[in-house]
Amino acid sequence: MAMEPTVKVALGTAAFGIFWVLAVFPAVPFLPIGRTAGSLLGAMLMVLFGVMSADEAYAAVDLPILGLLFGTMVVSVYLERADMFKHLGRLLSWRSQGGKDLLVRTCVVAALASALFTNDTCCVVLTEFILKIARQNNLPPKPFLLALASSANIGSAATPIGNPQNLVIAVQSGISFGQFVFGILPATLVGAVVNAAILLCLYWRHLSDEKCVEVVAPVPTDVVEEEDVTSHRFSPATMSHPRSSSHHHHHHQPGSSLSSPDCEVFEPVKPVTEKEEAMEQWKSTVWKTGVYVITLSMLVALLLGLNMSWSAITAALALIVLDFKDARPCLEKVSYPLLLFFCGMFITVDGFNKTGIPSAFWEFMEPYARIDTPTGIVILALVILLLSNVASNVPTVLLLGARVAASAAAISPAAETNAWLILAWVSTVAGNLSLLGSAANLIVCEQARRSEQYGYTLSFFSHLQFGFPATLIVTGIGLLLIRSN
pLDDT one-digit tens code per residue, 168-187: 999 999 999 999 999 999 99
Longest dimension (CA), the chain: 78
Picking from 344, 349, 352, the residue whose alpha carbon sits closest to that of residue 13 is: 352
**Rounded Cα gap, residues 280 and 254, in angstroms:** 20
Does residue 368 lie within any of the structural domains? no
Instruction: Please give the mean pLDDT across all residues of the chain.
Output: 84
User: Which of 252-261, 294-303, 406-415 has the least mean pLDDT?
Assistant: 252-261
Does residue 15 contact residue 22 with C-beta atoms inside 8 Å? no
**227 confidence band (pLDDT: 50, 70, 90):** very low
- What mean pLDDT comes out for the span 21-40? 87
Q: Let me know if residue 55 belongs to a domain.
A: no
What per-residue confidence (pLDDT) applies to 291? 96
pLDDT band, very low/low/confident/very high, at 72 (cuts 50, 70, 90): confident
The average pLDDT across 285-310 equals: 93
Is-contact 199 103, C-beta < 8 A? yes
Task: Report the C-alpha gap between 121 and 112 in whole angstroms.
Answer: 12
Whole-number Å distance between alpha carbons of 320 and 281: 20
Per-residue confidence at 218, pLDDT binned at 50, 70, 90? very low
**Lowest mean pLDDT across 255-259, 322-326, 386-390, 396-400:** 255-259
Residue 303 has pLDDT above 50, yes or no: yes
pLDDT at 2: 65
For residue 359, being part of any structural domain is answered with no
CA distance 125 to 167: 21
- Answer whether residue 39 is part of any domain: no
Are 15 and 42 in contact, with CB atoms under 8 Å apart? yes
Q: DSSP assignment, residue 142?
A: H
In this predicted structure, what is the pLDDT of residue 220?
Answer: 39
Residue whose C-alpha is closest to residue 323's, from 349, 357, 294: 294
Residue 259 buriedness (CB in 10 A; 0-12 / 13-18 / 19+): middle
Comparing 54-63, 151-160, 249-258, the range with the smallest average pLDDT is 249-258
Share of the chain above pLDDT 90, in %: 56
Q: State how far the alpha carbon of 309 is from the alpha carbons of 64, 70, 246, 306, 342, in Å.
A: 6, 9, 28, 9, 15
- Whether 257 is covered by a domain: the verdict is no
> Rounded mean pLDDT of 51-58?
97
Query: What distance in Å separates the CA atoms of residue 231 and residue 320, rounded to the nearest whole number?
Result: 20
Considering only 25-34, 276-285, 346-355, 375-384, which range has the smallest mean pLDDT? 25-34
| C-alpha–C-alpha distance, residues 411 and 134, integer Å | 50
Q: Answer yes or no: is pLDDT of 250 > 70.
A: no
Domain that holds residue 122: 64-241+275-331
Q: How far apart are the two ends of the chain, measured CA to CA in Å?
A: 33
Give the per-residue pLDDT at 331: 95
d(Cα 250, Cα 229) in Å, to the nearest integer? 11
Given a contact cutoff of 8 angstroms between Cβ atoms, the answer to whether 67 and 309 are in contact is yes
Is there a domain that residue 193 lies in?
Answer: yes
Size of the chain, expressed as the number of residues it contains: 485
Report which of 123, 310, 126, 95 is spatially closest to residue 217, judged by C-alpha positions.
Answer: 95
pLDDT-based confidence at 165, cuts 50/70/90?
Answer: very high
Helix (H, G, I), strand (E, B) or coil at 249: coil
- Considering the domain boundaries, does residue 456 fall inside one? no
299 within some domain: yes
| pLDDT for residue 221 is more than 50 | no
Gap between the Cα atoms of 402 and 172, Å rounded: 8
Mean pLDDT of 88-103: 82
Neighbour count for residue 32 (Cβ, 10 Å)? 12
- The one-character DSSP state at 285 is H
pLDDT of residue 270: 62
Give the global pTM.
0.81
- In 364-455, DSSP assigns E strands to none
**pLDDT higher than threshold 70 for residue 158:** yes
113-142 mean pLDDT: 87
Q: Are 433 and 461 in contact (CB under 8 A)?
A: no
Count of the separate structural domains present in the chain: 1
Write phi, then psi, for 129 (nearest 5 degrees): -65, -40
Is the pLDDT confidence value at 248 over 50? no
By mean pLDDT, which of 314-323, 340-349, 436-445 is the weakest?
436-445
How far is Cα 386 from Cα 396, in angstroms, rounded to an integer? Answer: 10
